[in-house]
């Protein structure tokens, strides 16, 4: 992340000609707020997160938080988007199946091994909502995963591993859908899930010869 860009209120993030009047903002306070938010999210979840606790643990005044983020929701979503997003991971292995497993496993690992997982569960409502903050999450985290999968599928078709008539836009839904399903409904999120999802996606459930016109 490393967002030196001052948030919300000040003019443009990358606006240069600021004379920088007055005392400059403390980067230490900024990081301390994010760190405290992350810790408290893990301990209490989003619904239980109290900005006064964040301020206390960060050794900061509440006003300092509101100078940088306009609301509790803004703060938390920026944190989560930053954690869950990137993972370029588009190294092609020459093996379509292995690449797909990795693409499914990536969000699974993010969910199960980073603070992102326990946190995102408490943020699902905000993410699913049509509000601006959820929009940003979709644009960063989700778009990255969709792009990765569509790249793999396109290469798989070129390579002759996948059917030329495969419904490419549906690949993300078919492969990541089960992950979201278990995120909500419960169930193991592990490598076994990733492998079974990819296998089911590739092999299909119908008896081979009969059903395709």
Partner DNA sequence: GGAAGTATACGGAACGGACCGTATCCATGA
Partner DNA sequence: TCATGGATACGGTCCGTTCCGTATACTTCC
Residue number, 66 or 180, with CB nearest to its own copies: 180
From the list DNA, its own copies, none, which binds 52 (C-beta under 5 to 8 Å, kind-based)?
Answer: DNA
Dmax of the chain from CA atoms? 75
Coil, strand, or helix at residue 3?
coil
Q: Report CA-CA distances (Å) from 135 to 49, 75, 104, 169.
A: 22, 14, 22, 20
Residue 177 is a binding residue for its own copies (CB under 8 A): yes
**E strand or H helix at 175, and its extent?**
helix 171-185
Q: For residues 77 and 128, what is the distance between their CA atoms, to the nearest angstrom?
A: 12
Residue 72 is a binding residue for DNA (CB under 7 A): yes
- The site for its own copies, by CB under 8 A, has a size of 56
**DSSP per-residue string spanning 14-39:** T-------SSPPPHHHHHHHHHHHHH
Residue 62 is a binding residue for DNA (CB under 7 A): yes
From candidates 12, 14, 17, 20, binder to DNA by CB under 7 A: 20
Query: Least Å distance between CB 64 and DNA?
Result: 3
In 3D space, the residue among 117, 136, 112, 116 whose CA is nearest the CA of residue 126 turns out to be: 136
Coil, strand, or helix at residue 150?
helix
From the list DNA, its own copies, none, which binds 121 (C-beta under 5 to 8 Å, kind-based)?
Answer: its own copies
From candidates 17, 24, 94, 160, binder to DNA by CB under 7 A: 24
Which parts of this chain interact with its own copies (CB under 8 A)?
A: 45-47, 97, 121-129, 138, 142, 153, 156, 160-163, 166-167, 170-174, 176-187, 193, 196-197, 199-208, 210-212
Which parts of this chain interact with DNA (CB under 7 A)?
A: 1, 4, 6, 10, 19-26, 29-30, 32, 49-52, 55, 58-64, 66-67, 70-73
């Amino acid at each position: 992340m490393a967002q030196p860009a001052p948030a919300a209120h000040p003019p443009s993030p990358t606006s240069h000609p600021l004379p920088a009047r007055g005392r400059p903002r403390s980067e230490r306070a900024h990081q301390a707020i994010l760190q405290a938010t992350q810790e408290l999210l893990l301990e209490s979840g989003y619904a239980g997160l109290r900005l006064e606790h964040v301020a206390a643990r960060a050794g900061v005044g509440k006003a300092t938080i509101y100078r940088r983020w306009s609301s509790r929701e803004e703060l938390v979503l920026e944190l989560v988007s930053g954690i869950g997003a990137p993972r370029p991971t588009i190294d092609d292995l020459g093996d379509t199946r292995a690449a797909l497993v990795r693409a499914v496993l990536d969000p699974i690992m993010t969910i199960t091994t980073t603070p992102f997982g326990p946190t995102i569960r408490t943020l699902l409502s905000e993410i699913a909502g049509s509000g601006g903050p959820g929009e940003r999450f979709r644009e960063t985290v989700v778009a990255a995963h969709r792009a990765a999968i569509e790249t793999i599928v396109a290469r798989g078709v070129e390579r002759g591993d996948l059917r030329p008539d495969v419904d490419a836009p549906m690949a993300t839904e078919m492969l990541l859908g089960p992950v979201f399903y278990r995120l909500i409904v419960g169930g193991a999120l592990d490598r076994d899930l990733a492998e079974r999802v990819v296998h089911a996606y590739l092999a299909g459930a119908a008896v081979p010869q009969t059903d395709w016109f």
